[in-house]
Amino acid sequence: MNATLSTLTNAVHGRLIDTALADAALSEPSNPRHTLPLPSPAQLRQRLPCSPALHGQIAEQRDAIRAVLNGDDDRLLVIVGPCSLHDPDSAMEYAQLLAELAPQVSDQLLLMMRTYVEKPRTTVGWKGLMYDPHLDGTGDMAEGLALSRRLMLSVAELGLPVATELLQPMAAGYLDDLLGWAAIGARTSESQTHREMVSGLGLPVGFKNGTDGSISIASDAMRSAAHGHQHFGLDEQGRPAMVQTRGNSDTHLVLRGGNGGANYHPQAVAAARQMLVGQGLEARLVVDCSHANSGKNPLLQPEVLASVVEQRLAGDTSLRGVMLESHLFDGCQPLSGQLAYGVSITDACLGWNATEQALLRAAERLGGR
Ligand SMILES: O=C[C@H](O)[C@H](O)COP(=O)(O)O
Ligand SMILES: C=C(OP(=O)(O)O)C(=O)O
């Protein structure tokens, strides 16, 4: 563009912006919103850095997870931990227990910790540590982001791969360098925005089937995420940006059951496998033992896990992983008054003792193959 044209263009844009600002100043907002600035991803990463040693560990863990998901390593991937983290002390006590168990079962199971700081809600409810770290509705997201990153760093420093659901695409850049694996939840697998985000991630990602049980939304998501996209997003400095991604084919389907019931039984697994292969996708399956696969009864998760183990032993090599919702103690509690330590404030979880027993049993059974 020559200098005169550029000056003219700037002058026109300048006038448009001035007019827009004047209009904005004059018009009454019909639904006023309050905003508070947040740090940029770069600022938070600088404040809570991932050391080169940790960075190397996470890269190795991603490769190990990929090897299991691709079937090059015949261990079972296990994504296990609280439905949501709401209290750093109980989260770290849980992480310690898991880190002690991991080497005991590592010949058969590759354990990673569910480190969930964002919760998708069916309607409304507490949306996770990242949104409301004080658990009081004040929405201190600056602290929520810092606390979430600090917790993930601490879990990773114990040597555990960190797994989380990425719900808000704008927030992924604050945490994604720390993750070994991520999920896109049942309520967002169909969302173009989430598929675009996944296409720019450098880690394995599981797309869950929809809450209605639809598995095709997840296979569509896998095909979309494998492509490069141009999308609206934020750069590292938090500025609005056109983001160009390269595509991510490191994805798989997570069977979590649906409104019609469970989908971990051999027939449902075979149908999922067939659909993926029919669409030219690799048959890589992870079974979520919780949610609709256990009818939301956390104590049934060991049964679902045992079924997956038996299906593998019977020769189903497409089943590559499982997910369990587990906390220090069984059940869940409402978010009000004095909270019991180590009990979920979102979905009901399986307590640690039963979780450990179920995982030891699975390892023993798989080890005897
Ligand atoms: O795993 C978590 C929940 O199932 C999900 O966040 C939905 O929860 P809700 O139906 O209680 O909102
Ligand atoms: C919200 C979750 O699951 P889903 O998306 O399957 O409901 C979860 O695993 O925390």
Does the residue 128 lie in any domain?
yes
Residue 12, pLDDT > 60, answer no
Task: Give the nearest ligand 1 atom to 123 CA.
Answer: 12
| Residue 366: closest CA among 301, 321, 326, 299 | 321
- CA-CA distances (angstroms) from residue 314 to 208, 308, 310? 24, 10, 6
Residue 266, pLDDT > 50, answer yes
Residue 8, pLDDT > 60, answer no
CA of 214 to the centre of ligand 1 (A): 17
114 with 323: CB under 8 angstroms? yes
Q: What is the CATH number of the domain that holds 167?
A: 3.20.20.70
The ligand 1 site (C-beta within 6 Å) comprises: 83, 119-122, 125, 291, 346-347
Residue 369, pLDDT > 60, answer no
Residue 24, pLDDT > 70, answer no
Spatial separation of the C-alpha atoms in residues 349 and 331, rounded to whole Å? 5
Spatial separation of the C-alpha atoms in residues 242 and 244, rounded to whole Å? 7
Does the residue 24 lie in any domain?
no
pLDDT of residue 25: 53
Domain that residue 136 falls in: 53-367
- CA-CA distances (angstroms) from residue 85 to 134, 202, 272? 12, 24, 31
> Tokens for 310?
């038996």
- CA-CA distances (angstroms) from residue 348 to 165, 179, 261, 294? 17, 24, 18, 11
Spatial separation of the C-alpha atoms in residues 292 and 325, rounded to whole Å? 12
Does the residue 39 lie in any domain?
no
How many CB atoms are located within 10 Å of the residue 129 CB? 26
Does the residue 40 lie in any domain?
no
Higher pLDDT, 15 or 353: 353
pLDDT of residue 16: 40
> Tokens for 351?
């307590």
Ligand 2 pocket check for 127: Cβ under 6 Å: no
CA of 235 to the centre of ligand 1 (A): 30
Tell me the longest C-alpha to C-alpha distance in the chain.
Answer: 79
Model confidence over 324-360: pLDDT tens digits? 999 999 999 999 999 999 999 999 999 999 999 999 9
Ligand 2 pocket check for 120: Cβ under 6 Å: yes
Does the residue 256 lie in any domain?
yes
Please give the mean pLDDT across all residues of the chain.
Answer: 94
Does the residue 36 lie in any domain?
no
Alpha-helical runs (H) found in the chain: 3-26, 41-47, 52-70, 88-105, 141-157, 192-199, 216-225, 266-278, 301-313, 352-367
Does the residue 139 lie in any domain?
yes
Cβ-count burial 30-57 (b if 16+ within 10 Å, e if not): eeeeeeeebbbbeebbeebebeeeeeeb
Torsion sign over Cα 337, 120, 203, 145: negative
Model confidence over 58-78: pLDDT tens digits? 999 999 999 999 999 999 999
pTM of the entire predicted model? 0.93
- Which ligand number lies closest to the CA of residue 127? 1
Does the residue 42 lie in any domain?
no
Residue nearest to atom 7 of ligand 1 (CA): 121
Q: Is ipTM over 0.90?
A: yes
Residue 2, pLDDT > 60, answer no
Residue 9, pLDDT > 90, answer no
Higher pLDDT, 8 or 20: 20
Higher pLDDT, 7 or 163: 163
Model confidence over 148-172: pLDDT tens digits? 999 999 999 999 999 999 999 999 9
Ligand 2 pocket check for 291: Cβ under 6 Å: yes
Confidence of residue 29 (pLDDT cuts 50, 70, 90): confident
pLDDT of residue 32: 87
Task: Give the nearest ligand 1 atom to 290 CA.
Answer: 1
Across the strands, what pairs with 114?
A: 163
The count of domains in the chain is 1
